[in-house]
Amino acid sequence: MKAAVADADVQAVVDLIRERGLTTVLLPGGDHLAIGITSAIDPGVREPLANTIRTNAGVSHVVHVSRPYKLTSREFRNQSTVVNVGRASFGGPKVSVIAGPCSIESYEQLHETAVAIKEAGATILRGGAFKPRTSPYSFQGLQQKGLEILARVGQDVGLPTVTEVVDTHDVPVVAQHTDMLQIGARNMQNFALLVAAGRSDRPVLLKRGPSATIDELLFAAEYLLNEGNRNVVLCERGILPLDRTYTRNTLDVMAVPVLKEITHLPVIVDPSHATGYARYVRPAALAGLAAGADGLIVEVHPRPHEALSDGQQSLTPQDFAALMRAVDDVAVVIRKEAS
């Protein structure tokens, strides 16, 4: 619709579409309002309907979204979505960095990490309370107690927080304790969880499954958007490797520019899970940013050798601070602002 359109003109177009049994969604963006048709349209109906809509007052233009994921595509909304979480901002001119331990182990461990990562320039604190582990015998996270620690440390240190939600029923309690919900790689296609997170008012960090295609990731994001949650950040965290001898996963660095071309949603890179080794985190992080990522999520632990999960890939606070200096340097080259 044109800028400064009258509500009655919007309603007239919505009615016109709904009369044909099709569903609409309203998507405000910048100074334009888009009216999306998310139901499948019979090709014989599409052109006549487009022509009828074009004659309505207030209509700027009609576009056919050829991508199967509608709301997620740039055809639908060309303006990049900016997701703000506290001082962190993804999708705009800034590079924002999320950091913290894989698992929340104690108040002291998380507090010590939070102080260090904030000092180094990170703007969101991560920490897992519910851990999706390959083995049921591995540490499963502090769960409810972990959520409480995360909320307290976030408050005490002055950082917004993100944590993974693994169960549909936990969405409200996790949303109550944190500023952003993480949907992990293993749950990328847990459609009930996507619907529940899509109904939450918290921004969502959606990680790509290790064997998920780019289209599957975008369809997963579409579930969130279709439920009304527009604040979605995508995360490339490494896909199944050809060879696990040297890295845990393979960072699909080209997924970053490909995603940025197809979708208006911000994209970040997780160099920790992508590589599995602390010494490879820096090259993977910088490659991701150079490829156009809007930010990073990095695992940091005050004593990686004592970590209850993912110690091998966790940076010490010192190494994280050094990484952040390199991030600042790369930000200058790619003309982004460091967070």
| Contact footprint for ligand PEP (CB under 6 A) | 102, 128, 132, 184-186, 207, 237, 270, 273
Q: Which amino acid is at 308?
A: L
Q: Give the DSSP letter of residue 188.
A: T
Please tell me the distance from the alpha carbon of residue 68 to that of residue 330, in angstroms, as a whole number: 35
Please tell me the distance from the alpha carbon of residue 32 to that of residue 83, in angstroms, as a whole number: 18
Residue among 29 and 132 whose Cβ is closer to ligand PEP: 132
The nearest distance, CB 171 to Mn ion, in angstroms, is: 21
Partner from ligand PEP, Mn ion, none binding residue 129, C-beta < 5-8 Å depending on class: none
Q: Which residues bind Mn ion (CB under 5 A)?
A: 102, 310
The nearest distance, CB 40 to ligand PEP, in angstroms, is: 32
Residue among 89 and 140 whose Cβ is closer to Mn ion: 140
Partner from ligand PEP, Mn ion, none binding residue 198, C-beta < 5-8 Å depending on class: none
The nearest distance, CB 55 to ligand PEP, in angstroms, is: 49
Quickly count: other Cβ atoms within 10 Å of residue 319's Cβ: 18
The nearest distance, CB 211 to ligand PEP, in angstroms, is: 12
Partner from ligand PEP, Mn ion, none binding residue 230, C-beta < 5-8 Å depending on class: none
Burial code of 90-112, b = ≥16 C-beta within 10 A, e = fewer? bbbebbbbbbbbbbbbeeebbbb
Token pair, residue 144, equals 């409810």
Partner from ligand PEP, Mn ion, none binding residue 304, C-beta < 5-8 Å depending on class: none
Token pair, residue 117, equals 């990562």
Token pair, residue 244, equals 């696990």
Query: What is the residue-wise DSSP string for 100-115?
Result: E-SB---HHHHHHHHH
The nearest distance, CB 102 to Mn ion, in angstroms, is: 3
Partner from Mn ion, ligand PEP, none binding residue 319, C-beta < 5-8 Å depending on class: none
